[in-house]
Amino acid sequence: MPVLSAQNLKKSFTTPAGTIEVLRNVNLAVAPGESVSVRGESGAGKTTLLQILGGLDTPDSGELFWNGERITKRGNAFLAKARTKLIGYVFQFFHLVPELTALENVLLAARIAGTPMRQAREQAKELLARVGLAERTSHLPTKLSGGECQRVAIARALINRPPLILADEPTGNLDECTGEAIMQLIIDVCREQNTALLLVTHNLDFAARTDRRLVLRHGILEEI
Ligand SMILES: Nc1ncnc2c1ncn2[C@@H]1O[C@H](COP(=O)(O)OP(=O)(O)OP(=O)(O)O)[C@@H](O)[C@H]1O
Ligand SMILES: [Mg+2]
């Protein structure tokens, strides 16, 4: 059963300049452990799509399933709880809590999921070591480089062992060399943990490393 599937998703935005049809008819299924990349021009609707798939935004029509369960039209409380179990999100701009250390940022996600703190602390330290931050666990985000912040965000996305990671241009805000290392890290840890990955990227080389490559064009997701 796909960890994530979408059928006939449509989404448009109404602006003073008129209505933009961003997603016209999106169909997608992501199998457990599979990595899928999504490319598309700026403004093609990649972020809109990822937010809908992650339950952070709602489609105008169409159906969305998480682990086979229909989630379209479910309430926010249900979505928030189901999302914690199913999805780890990695954003372009990290979105770490500035007042919390690297370790605390990772632990926050475990706390939200209700994991006992002693167990979570061990797992968080292991994950931070896995992403190369064993020596930085007590640093605040302001004392970390961009690449290090994204490593923390990756550890945070993985702490609840979700079967799916959604990553929206996770290296878009990093220099080329750091971006390369971060992208390989995301792909490697998802493979190691058999976590499915839906990766939005502009970069053809990164896209080539995923099992399946899609392009969002004129509101439709095409296999290439
Ligand atoms: N809340 C909104 N209200 C109105 N228009 C929106 C809204 N969100 C997105 N859009 C428009 O929808 C289109 C798709 O935006 P989206 O951010 O999904 O593109 P994207 O493919 O992620 O682009 P980029 O590669 O630049 O991140 C754009 O034209 C954008 O201006
Ligand atoms: Mg975007």
- Specify the pLDDT at position 124: 97
Model confidence at 222: pLDDT above 90? yes
**Ligand 1 atom closest to Cα of residue 14:** 4
CA 82 to chain CA centroid, nearest Å: 15
Query: What's 4-223's CATH class?
Result: alpha beta
**Nearest partner of 150 among 102, 118, 199, judged by Cα:** 102
> What mean pLDDT is predicted for residues 133-149?
96
Give me the count of residues in the chain: 224
- Specify the pLDDT at position 159: 95
**Ligand 1 atom closest to Cα of residue 92:** 27
- Give the bridge partners for 7, in sequence order: 63
* CB-based contact 70:63 (threshold 8 Å): yes
- Specify the pLDDT at position 224: 87
Model confidence at 10: pLDDT above 90? yes
* Structure confidence by residue, pLDDT tens digits, 16-64: 999 999 999 999 999 999 999 999 999 999 999 999 999 999 999 999 9
Q: How many angstroms does the Cα of residue 11 sit away from the middle of ligand 1?
A: 11
Sheet holding 69-70, edge to edge: 18-30, 4-15, 61-66, 69-70
- Specify the pLDDT at position 115: 93
Task: Specify the residue for token string 């954003």.
Answer: 91
Ligand 1 contacts CB of residue 47 (under 6 A): yes
Atom 13, ligand 1: residue with shortest CA distance: 43
CA 151 to chain CA centroid, nearest Å: 13
Ligand 1 contacts CB of residue 13 (under 6 A): yes
- Specify the pLDDT at position 173: 87
- Specify the pLDDT at position 9: 98
Q: How many angstroms does the Cα of residue 47 sit away from the middle of ligand 2?
A: 4
- Specify the pLDDT at position 183: 92
- Specify the pLDDT at position 12: 98
175 or 99: which leads in pLDDT: 99
- Specify the pLDDT at position 73: 87
Model confidence at 157: pLDDT above 90? yes
> What mean pLDDT is predicted for residues 119-142?
96
Q: Given ligand 1 and candidates 48, 166, 216, which is best to mutate, with the most ligand atoms within 8 Å of its CB?
A: 48
* Structure confidence by residue, pLDDT tens digits, 74-104: 999 999 999 999 999 999 999 999 999 999 9
Ligand closest to Cα of 46 equals: 1
